[in-house]
Amino acid sequence: MQLTESDLRFVLETVVTSRRDHERILELVRDKQDLVEPLLDDPRLVERLLNTAESFAQVSPYLMFQVLLRCVQRDLTRQSYVIDRDTAGRRIPVFEAQHALALVTDPTMREYLAQMLCSFVRTHTSVVYFKERGHWRKRKFSDLDLRVTARLVDGPVDQNQFGVVFRYWSSRSSGRGSTSELLISPCS
């Protein structure tokens, strides 16, 4: 879990309302995922995120998506269907809620989904150095520029390369993607 100091402060101020010593509590829970994890399930977080305009400036996309995915999980436990729209825009109930619930209930999958959603919010630019014909070359690329990513993958790839490149190479070389590997670059 990759919560920032600001994220933790936001969570504590929202959930721990009976105390005012949030800085002290922050020190206690900072590196204790087992204590922070249950706090993220509190519905007051969703309410504050959706009803307070400045909350989006206070939290990272990672926290926002973690909280929203947990909200989806709570909603799916109460209903047996999800709503989809057809090409004409009509709402159609699709009775696949249990399959969707299985995705957001699994902590590894929820982490993957939060990371993936973050990758669409903030892009990262990286520089890769590689040796070609005896000379060092430098290539700059964005994690959303798949043309450059594909070209980089054609060369030798190691696990120290940018996460998106390795994820792309991994799924390309195996013929299918793996949802159990968290190879997306973290967003902050």
Question: Are 22 and 107 within one domain?
Answer: yes
Same domain, 81 and 6: yes
Domain total of the chain:
2
Q: Indicate whether 76 and 146 sit together in one domain.
A: no
The answer to whether residues 112 and 70 belong to one domain is yes
Q: Is pLDDT of 175 > 80? A: no
| 50 and 92 fall within a common domain | yes
Residues 10, 90 within the same domain: yes
- Residue 103 placed within a domain: yes
Are residues 29 and 112 both part of a single domain?
yes
Q: What is the pLDDT of residues 126-170, one digit of tens each?
A: 777 777 888 888 877 776 666 666 665 565 555 544 444 444 433
What are the pLDDT digits (tens) for 83-134?
888 889 898 888 888 888 888 999 999 998 998 888 777 666 777 777 788 8
Q: Are residues 162 and 76 in the same domain?
A: no
- HEC string of the chain equals CCCCHHHHHHHHHHHCCCCCCHHHHHHHHCCCHHHHHHHCCCHHHHHHHHHCCCHHHHCCHHHHHHHHHHHHHHHHHHCCCEEEECCCCCEEEECCHHHHHHHHHCHHHHHHHHHHHHHHHCCCEEEEEEEECCEEEEEEEECCCHHHHHHHHCCCCCCCCCHHHHHHHHHHHHCCCCCCCCCCCCCC
Domain of residue 154, residue span: 125-174
Residue-wise pLDDT for 21-80, tens only, equals: 878 888 878 888 888 889 999 999 999 999 988 888 889 999 999 999 999 999 889 888
